[in-house]
């Protein structure tokens, strides 16, 4: 392949597209975050009500936005900025740039998490598993106090860059290996987890609804946040892969396959972890004590995955093998998502006329440098996760805005329902994009401001140096937005010239 994008690069097969987009969607949000969030939002009798709220938002947040991203990307045939301009106009290039920057800022620290996963995979192969909390803490603290987080961060972003160098064909080939391998790992882990004595108690809790919890706004807001996290909707990543989508591929069917496939992986991961935790600890602890362990996020939300799972594998028959399998799956999930984040930023520079080689080297170098503070400091990591995780909500609103500028009905009838569509998208989608998603974005941002002022940083919410304050988010967002607004014309001109 030539060193620059010719505009004719496409995924070779529908299977390659779906696996690659599942590579975006299936990440640490499914395996690392989802089981803990489900446990945190479970009621007295179970977490089933949270699952209902979470599944609801798949259809009124994630899938509508995935449809929008596929359509914007395929129509624009450029990266996130170029395709956004084609939708909303050159005066809004800065909004497309902000969407792209949110995902890139997440990439900076996401590669650190990917590095943690790889380290624990290596650790599970070469070292004994920890036998108690103290030993697990020693492993974690020894790792964090060394240079290793930075080294593994560099390894993961470097490996991701090697995949991106060759363009979409390389992305497709890699995901055809990674995603089936990940699914195989999950199936093996699921079979093992279900054979554990006491695992049924975990599954029962996971799927039993505590209907009273549905009256709490927090459950719905947490469910929406989790769905945004684990499907990859509105990150701009699916938009980027959409630029390589074949014209004959059905956007609506692809979006439903992506969203439902992703959520099935999340449920599988939750069944594995609930079964393993209850099956291993249920004989010695009460259900409430087991749930307390699952809900304890630990430093930088590492509690369940990096602290408890290795200990649980240690007391399990064949635990060493299953620890390796578990962290192999987590590493594959993290790496496939990281690839898409690197490609998003690289594609933006390629659109501006930079060769793919130079763009990839620049993005990976910047990724390493700007990710170092998160690799070195868990406090900095937590701040970046807070700031740019909230940014995903704003991105959802901006994707919706671009579709409305183009014309929601025009988008549905011309870009989605083309002559190749086997499933015609109905007007329900237009209603969700025009009215429901803006309400969801405003509700989430209002809720987040309320929590920051009342819970996260009640005494320092106005201080930009406080890691969980309203002010730190507004300052970091503001710097990016002001710079993109100032250079809007230059960004637009550079992107659309090539």
pLDDT digits 0-9 by tens, 411-442:
999 999 988 888 899 999 999 999 999 999 99
pLDDT at 299 over 90: no
* The predicted structure's pLDDT at residue 132: 82
* The predicted structure's pLDDT at residue 421: 86
pLDDT digits 0-9 by tens, 34-68:
888 898 899 889 999 999 999 999 999 999 999 99
* The predicted structure's pLDDT at residue 6: 40
Find the angle CA(107)-CA(388)-CA(20) to the nearest 5 degrees.
40
pLDDT digits 0-9 by tens, 459-495:
999 999 999 999 999 999 999 999 999 999 999 999 9
Q: For the chain, what is the mean pLDDT?
A: 91
Rounded CA-CA distance 157/364 in Å is: 6
pLDDT digits 0-9 by tens, 230-256:
898 999 999 999 999 999 999 999 999
pLDDT digits 0-9 by tens, 213-231:
999 888 998 898 888 888 9
pLDDT at 267 over 80: yes
- E strand map for 128-272: none
pLDDT at 352 over 70: yes
Residue whose entry in the numeric block shows the structure tokens 């910047």: 366
Residue whose entry in the numeric block shows the structure tokens 């899938």: 63
pTM for the model stands at 0.92
Letter string b/e over residues 19-45, b meaning 16 or more CB atoms within 10 A of that residue's CB: bbbbbbbbbbbbbbbbbbbbbbbbbeb
Rounded CA-CA distance 221/451 in Å is: 12
Burial of 446 (0-12, 13-18, 19+ CB in 10 A): exposed
Which among 234, 278, 288, 207 has a CA at the least distance from the CA of 38?
207
* The predicted structure's pLDDT at residue 303: 65
* The predicted structure's pLDDT at residue 358: 97
Residue whose entry in the numeric block shows the structure tokens 């779906």: 18
Rounded CA-CA distance 74/442 in Å is: 28
- The number of beta carbons lying within 10 Å of the beta carbon of residue 2 is 9
Per-residue pLDDT band at 300 (split at 50, 70, 90): low
Mean pLDDT within 105-119? 95
CB 112, CB 119: distance < 8 Å: no
Dihedral sign, Cα of residue 29, residue 157, residue 164, residue 239: positive
Per-residue pLDDT band at 301 (split at 50, 70, 90): low
25-34, 261-270, 395-404, range with the lowest pLDDT: 25-34
Rounded CA-CA distance 210/391 in Å is: 31
Give the 3-state secondary structure of 437-491: HHHHHHHHHHHHHHHHHHHHCCCCCCCCCCCCCHHHHHHHHHHHHHHHHHCHHHH
Give the 3-state secondary structure of 230-294: HHCCCCCHHHHHHCCCCCCCCHHHHHHHHHHHHHHHHHHHHHHHHHHHHHHHCCCCCHHHHHHHH
CA-to-CA dists, residue 229 to 61, 85, 250, angstroms: 11, 25, 24
SS3 368: helix
Rounded CA-CA distance 277/205 in Å is: 12
Rounded CA-CA distance 252/128 in Å is: 48
Mean pLDDT within 201-211? 94
CA-to-CA dists, residue 223 to 62, 173, 227, 487, angstroms: 11, 33, 6, 36
Max avg pLDDT among 29-38, 306-315, 332-341 = 332-341
pLDDT at 75 over 60: yes
CB 230, CB 30: distance < 8 Å: yes
Per-residue pLDDT band at 314 (split at 50, 70, 90): confident
* The predicted structure's pLDDT at residue 444: 86
pLDDT at 402 over 90: yes
């Amino acid at each position: 392949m030539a060193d620059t994008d010719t505009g004719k690069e496409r995924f070779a097969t529908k299977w390659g597209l779906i696996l690659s987009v599942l590579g975006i969607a299936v990440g640490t949000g499914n395996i690392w975050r989802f089981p803990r969030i489900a446990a945190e939002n479970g009621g007295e009798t179970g977490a089933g009500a949270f699952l209902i709220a979470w599944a609801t938002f798949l259809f009124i947040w994630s899938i509508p936005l995935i449809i929008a991203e596929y359509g914007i990307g395929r129509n624009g045939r450029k990266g996130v900025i170029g395709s956004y301009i084609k939708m909303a106009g050159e005066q809004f290039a800065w909004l497309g740039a902000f969407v792209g920057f949110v995902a890139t800022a997440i990439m900076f620290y996401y590669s650190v998490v990917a590095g943690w996963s790889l380290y624990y995979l290596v650790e599970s192969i070469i070292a004994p598993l920890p036998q108690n909390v103290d030993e697990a803490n020693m492993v974690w603290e020894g790792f964090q106090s060394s240079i290793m987080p930075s080294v593994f961060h560099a390894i993961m972003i470097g490996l991701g860059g090697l995949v991106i160098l060759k363009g979409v064909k390389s992305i497709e080939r890699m995901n055809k290996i990674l995603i089936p391998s990940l699914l195989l790992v999950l199936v093996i882990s699921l079979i093992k987890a279900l054979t554990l004595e006491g695992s049924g108690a975990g599954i029962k809790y996971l799927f039993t609804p505590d209907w009273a919890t549905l009256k709490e706004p927090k459950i719905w807001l947490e469910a929406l946040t989790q769905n945004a996290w684990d499907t990859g909707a509105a990150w701009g990543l699916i938009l980027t892969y959409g630029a390589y989508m074949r014209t004959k591929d059905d956007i609506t069917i692809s979006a439903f396959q992506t969203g439902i496939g992703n959520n099935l992986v999340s449920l599988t991961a939750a069944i594995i972890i609930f079964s393993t935790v209850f099956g291993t600890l249920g004989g010695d602890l009460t259900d409430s004590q087991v749930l307390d362990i699952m809900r304890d996020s630990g430093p930088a939300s590492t509690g369940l995955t990096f602290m408890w799972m290795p200990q649980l594998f240690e007391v399990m028959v064949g635990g060493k093998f299953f620890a390796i399998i578990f962290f192999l799956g987590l590493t594959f999930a993290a790496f496939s998502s990281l690839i898409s984040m690197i490609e998003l930023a690289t594609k933006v520079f390629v659109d501006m006329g930079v060769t793919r080689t130079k763009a990839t080297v620049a993005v990976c170098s910047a990724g390493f440098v700007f990710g170092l503070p998160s690799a070195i400091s868990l406090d900095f990591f937590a701040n970046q996760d807070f700031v740019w995780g909230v940014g995903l909500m704003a991105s959802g609103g901006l994707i919706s805005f671009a579709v409305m500028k183009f014309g929601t009905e025009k988008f549905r009838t011309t870009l989605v329902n083309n002559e190749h569509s086997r499933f015609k998208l109905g007007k329900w989608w237009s209603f969700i994009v025009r009215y429901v998603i803006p309400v969801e974005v405003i509700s989430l941002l209002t809720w987040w401001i309320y929590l920051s002022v009342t819970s996260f940083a009640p005494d320092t919410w106005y201080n930009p140096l406080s890691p969980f304050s309203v002010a730190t988010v507004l300052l970091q967002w503001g710097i990016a937005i002001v710079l993109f607004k100032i250079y809007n014309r230059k960004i637009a001109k550079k992107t659309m010239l090539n």
